Chain A
Amino acid sequence: MSTIAEYAIVILLLTGGFFTLVGAIGLARLPDFYSRLHGPTKATTVGIGSIVMASVVFFSTRGEGIGISEVLIVVFLFITAPVSANIMAKAAMHMGIDPAKGTRGHPWDQ
C-alpha cells in the first residue's frame, strides 16, 4: 500500500470518528429535542461518509476492485437521514414538546 493512500485513510478515519463523536456529544449536551435533532444528521453525513470513504480507499488499494456497496450505504443514509429527522420533528411537535427557553419563534400546531 502506498504512503499517500495510508495517510488518506488515516485522515479520513480520524475525521469520521471525530464527527461521529461530536454528533453524539451534541445529542447528550444540547438543551432541547429540536436542537438535539441536529446531532444525528451531522454524524450521518460527515462521520459515516468519511469512514466509508476510508473503507473505499483501503479496499481499492488492496486491488480488490472499487467498493460499490459502500457507496450505496452512504447514498442510502443521505437519502433517509432527512426523512427520519423530519418525521421525528413532526412527532415531537404533535406531542407538544416545548423548545428550550430562549428559542425564538415557535413550532406550528397543525
Chain B
Amino acid sequence: MLDRLTFPQPYLSLLLFIVWQFLSNGVSGASIVMGLILAWLIPQITRGFWPERRAFVNAWKLPGYIGIVLLDIVVASVSVAKLILGGREPKSIFVSYPLELEHPLAIAILASTISLTPGTVSADVSDDNKLLLIHALDADNADEVISSIRERYERRLKEMFQ
C-alpha cells in the first residue's frame, strides 16, 4: 500500500509536472496542485508498461546530443530540398544497420534521430534488437550510411548508456 504513494518514475513525474505548468499558462497555486496530482497519478496508472532497467547514466550529455541533431536537421534539409527540386531521380537504398546499442530506450532514440534527420528513415527493428532497417533517400552505398550514423549518433548514445 505504501508504494502506491511514491513516484515510481521520478524523471517522468518531473517531466509531467513541468509540462503541466507550461500548458496551464503561468504558474499558480491551482496549477501546482493539479501538476502534483498528475505527476503522481499517471506513472501509477501506467507503471505496468515501464521496463525495470535504469536508463540514462550520463543524462548531462543529452543537451549536446540534441544540439548536434538540430544542426544536422538543418544542414541535411537543405541537401534534400536540392534533391527534390533538382529533378534528378534519387538513388534510394535499403540498409540493414547492425546495432551496437543494447538498451531498448537507446535504440528508440537512435531510430527517432535517424527518422528526424532528412534523407534517412528507420523502417523496422529486427525481433532480436540486432538490426535496424534504414531507407536512405539518396546514398551511393550502404557503408557510407552506416559509417556516418555510427560516427555521429551511435557513438554518442553509447557514451550516454553505459
Contacts and interface: CB of A to CB of B under 8 A. Distances in A.
Interface of A is mostly: helix
Contact of B93 (A89, A93, A104): A104
A46 B121 contact: no
Interface string A76-90: 001101110110011
B125 to A, nearest CB: 9
A82 B122 contact: yes
Interface string A16-37: 0011001001100111101101
Given A38-B119, A93-B124, A100-B92, A22 B85 contact: yes
Given A26-B84, A72-B23, A82 B111 contact: yes
A55 interface: no
B123 A89 contact: yes
A25 B19 CA distance: 35
A41 B116 contact: yes
B112 A79 contact: yes
Contacts of A72: 19, 22-23
A63 interface: no
Given A46-B77, A72-B22, A102 B89 contact: yes
Contacts of A18: 81
B123 A25 contact: no
Contacts of A86: 111, 115, 121-124
Contacts of B114: 82
B118 A38 contact: yes
A81 B73 CA distance: 13
A81 B135 CA distance: 16
A34 B120 CA distance: 10
A31 B90 CA distance: 9
Contact of A69 (B22, B113, B142): B22
A85 B77 contact: no
Contacts of A108: 124, 126, 133
Interface in A53-110: 65, 68-69, 71-72, 78-79, 81-83, 85-86, 89-90, 93, 99-100, 102-108, 110
Given A38-B80, A82-B112, A89 B135 contact: yes
A105 B132 CA distance: 13
B133 to A, nearest CB: 6
17 contacts: A18-B81, A31-B89, A35-B137, A45-B116, A46-B77, A69-B25, A72-B23, A81-B116, A82-B111, A86-B115, A86-B124, A89-B121, A89-B124, A93-B123, A104-B91, A104-B142, A107-B123
